Amino acid sequence: MATFKDFRNKVKPNWCPGCGDFSVLAAMQRAFANQGLEPEDVAIVSGIGCSGRISGYVNAYGFHGVHGRALPIAQGLKLANRDLTVVAAGGDGDGFAIGMGHTIHAIRRNVDITYIVMDNQVYGLTKGQTSPRSEMGFKTKSTPKGSIEATIAPMEMALTAGAGFVAQAVSSDLKQLTRLVEEGLKHKGFSLINVYSPCVTYNKVNTYDWFKEHLVNLDDEEGYDPSNRMQAMQKLMEHNGLVTGLIYQNKERKAYEELIPGFDEKPLAKQDLKINKEQFEELVAEFA
């Protein structure tokens, strides 16, 4: 059986020392091993940006696509081979700016994949511009006088879009993060895990210390019931989205694959391509 070390490869990440993404990488590797997966069972589809490189740092199948399109690629892959564990990963620009349309629709569609967003609330690889996750007033190269646009609230957005699994974590708590990734992998349907993953170079506001001070851990909240959507929304609004833990899970909702008429358990990629002559003649008869 594979251990988390089997999911490591020899590539040295090109992230800055102290980058929150290192924890996300470690959490993924541990979660895969803990779930009894082998490297060839896993495919990671990632976007573009610092975080997008993550698919190249895990010893598994990896697809590093174009900016903002990790989700449609990942959904196509999962529909092609439902035996694979498919994880999409990227940054907040990838998922909530250029790819926001896909994020909402992936939530609606509910294909059984796990989406991990490394949310650093800034554009890192392009050297420090504002992100849709930046706070109002946040000063960057592109907003020298401070951002004048409202911040996207991804967890609230996911709840209203009908998500079946909504969780949030922070890079500094590897244990909770790993557990949430595992929960996400186990969840039947689309799971969204937003990870506060501090950018030590371009975000001097939302730092590890800042998160320590502001985040509320739902694991410590007595009586918090993640199956209660209304309560989830209330909690998020109460704390301005600054919570960690499993925010909401709907175990009843069926995954997209379960609802496709005639969709077999056996992966499409392993099915015979050729249709037989009888079937063909039947198809053609419609046009006679």
The residues binding another protein (CB under 8 A) are 9-11, 38-41, 43, 45, 53, 55-56, 59-66, 69, 71-81, 83-84, 101-102, 104-105, 109, 260-264, 268-271, 273-275, 277, 279-281, 283-284, 287-288
Three-state SS string over the chain comes to CCCHHHHECCCCCCCCCCCCHHHHHHHHHHHHHHCCCCHHHEEEEECCCCHHHHHHCECCEEEECCCCCHHHHHHHHHHHCCCCEEEEEEEHHHHHHHCHHHHHHHHHHCCCCEEEEEECCCECCCCCECCCCCCCCCCCCCCCCCCCCCCCCHHHHHHHHCCCEEEEEECCCHHHHHHHHHHHHHCCCCEEEEEECCCCCCCCCCCHHHHHHHCEEHHHCCCCCCCCHHHHHHHHHHCCCCEEEEEEECCCCCCHHHHCCCCCCCCHHHCCCCCCHHHHHHHHHCCC
Q: How far is the CB of 259 from another protein (least distance, A)?
A: 10
Q: Is the sign of the CA dihedral 140, 143, 144, 148 positive or negative?
A: negative
What's the number of CA atoms in the CB half-sphere (13 Å) around residue 82? 17
For another protein, the closer CB: 33 or 167: 33
Q: How far is the CB of 56 from another protein (least distance, A)?
A: 5
Rounded Cα distance between 161 and 230, Å, is 14
For another protein, the closer CB: 102 or 235: 102
Q: How far is the CB of 26 from another protein (least distance, A)?
A: 18
For another protein, the closer CB: 40 or 225: 40
For another protein, the closer CB: 88 or 218: 88
Q: How far is the CB of 260 from another protein (least distance, A)?
A: 5
For another protein, the closer CB: 59 or 203: 59
Q: How far is the CB of 87 from another protein (least distance, A)?
A: 12
Phi, psi (deg, nearest 5) at residue 8: -90, 150
Both tokens of residue 92? Answer: 């907040």
For another protein, the closer CB: 109 or 235: 109
Q: How far is the CB of 251 from another protein (least distance, A)?
A: 24
Q: How far is the CB of 285 from another protein (least distance, A)?
A: 9
Closest CA to 178 of 9, 18, 5, 25: 25
Q: How far is the CB of 181 from another protein (least distance, A)?
A: 19
For another protein, the closer CB: 13 or 128: 13
For another protein, the closer CB: 47 or 198: 47
